């Protein structure tokens, strides 16, 4: 597995593993031992970058990752996130980046991850009630104390990134970016390039849609996050099949799978982009990792851009209730 560098010095595998789906968001949690086996298989195949968050579960995902990576802790980079408190049922997510809560969250993450330092700590969502300078200041203190190595933001807007970076250098921004969500190209990517900050795209496969395995008639259970995402409504799924058709055509030309093309396209956008596709299946893990060997030429990329310009993507990527939490 090749390596890439986020920010000024965090070296990670070219592809990371997004672990959320093992415990949260897409139906019942994967059996713990199966999840541990998948994570360890990723390590064996060269993955050194693993992404989790306290909110995934809540808490369960960090515990699984901690168990899985304990034997190889010195060989891997663990990223986790703070930024929420939870209702009495542990389902309601309440934004909370108050300095005292950040410290409590970090201690909990360290314990669950079975480690004495977090390699990359993200603010999961910008809290409008706490100035980002205060958040960055607390993380700066935690770095001085040796509990954190690198600071990250998730789904933050360009001006917030600049303000945070002025207090404590930001190593990475985690945000959605893929063939069907290219909004970051307008302002976010130029800002990251200017400041020397890496990008860690989540949902690089469009929550499964870009793999070509989600049919236009697919429905989703109530415990699957996609059941409330406008982009996965029946109308949108039908309308957006044109994008899948395009990716499948390119995949045939390159003797690859649609998922591999979607990941190879992301990797070709900049050397400081490190996608974190998630999966619960070993064969999908291997498929995703093999995307690093697929080279898209500049001619390929121009052809893809030209074809994408003719495709209108239907549906918002978040329901109305969650849209306000991104891009602040």
Contact 281, 34 (CB under 8 A): no
pLDDT tens for residues 145-170? 999 999 999 999 999 999 999 999 99
pLDDT at residue 163 in the model: 98
Q: For residues 235 and 314, is the Cβ–Cβ distance under 8 A?
A: yes
The model's pTM is: 0.97
SS3 at position 84: strand
- Residue at token pair 């190595």: 149
Give the pLDDT confidence score for residue 211 in this predicted structure: 96
CA proximity to 274, closest of 158, 160, 151, 177: 177
Cβ proximity of 272 and 10 under 8 Å: no
Band (pLDDT 50/70/90 cuts) for residue 89 is confident
Euclidean distance between CA atoms 284 and 37, whole angstroms: 14
Upstream peptide bond of 220 is cis (omega within 30 degrees of 0): no
Residue 107, SS3? Answer: helix
For residues 194 and 176, give the distance between their C-alpha atoms in angstroms, rounded to a whole number: 19
Domains of the chain by residue range: 3-323
Which residues belong to the active site?
56
Say which CATH superfamily domain 3-323 falls into: NADP-dependent oxidoreductase domain (3.20.20.100)
Cα separation, 211 vs 257, in Å, equals 8
């Amino acid at each position: 597995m090749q390596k890439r560098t986020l920010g000024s010095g965090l070296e990670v595998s070219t592809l990371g593993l997004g672990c959320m789906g093992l415990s949260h968001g897409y139906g019942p949690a994967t059996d713990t031992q199966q999840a541990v086996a998948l994570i360890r298989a990723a390590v064996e195949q060269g993955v050194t970058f693993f992404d989790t968050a306290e909110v995934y579960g809540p808490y369960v995902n960090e515990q699984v990752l901690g168990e899985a990576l304990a034997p190889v802790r010195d060989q891997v980079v663990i990223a986790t996130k703070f930024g929420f408190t939870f209702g009495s049922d542990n389902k309601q997510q309440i934004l909370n980046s108050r300095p005292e809560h950040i410290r409590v969250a970090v201690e909990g993450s360290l314990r669950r991850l079975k480690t004495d330092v977090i390699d990359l700590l993200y603010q999961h969502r910008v809290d409008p009630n706490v100035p980002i300078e205060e958040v960055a200041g607390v993380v700066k203190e935690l770095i001085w104390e040796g509990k954190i190595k690198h600071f990250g933001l998730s789904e933050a807007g360009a001006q917030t990134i600049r303000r945070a970076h002025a207090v404590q250098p930001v190593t990475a921004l985690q945000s959605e970016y893929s063939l069907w969500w290219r909004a970051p190209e307008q302002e976010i990517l130029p800002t990251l390039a200017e400041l020397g900050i890496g990008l860690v795209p989540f949902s690089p496969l469009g929550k499964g849609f870009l793999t070509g395995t989600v049919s236009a008639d697919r429905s989703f259970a109530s415990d699957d996050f996609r059941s409330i995402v406008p982009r996965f409504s029946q109308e949108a799924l039908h309308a957006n099949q044109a994008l899948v058709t395009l990716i499948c055509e390119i995949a045939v030309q390159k003797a690859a799978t649609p998922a591999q093309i979607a990941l190879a396209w992301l990797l070709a956008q900049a050397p400081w982009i490190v996608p974190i596709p998630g999966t619960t299946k070993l064969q999908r893990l291997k498929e995703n990792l093999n995307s690093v060997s697929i080279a898209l030429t500049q001619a390929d990329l121009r052809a893809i851009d030209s074809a994408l310009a003719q495709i209108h993507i239907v549906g918002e990527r978040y329901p109305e209730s969650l849209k306000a939490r991104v891009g602040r």
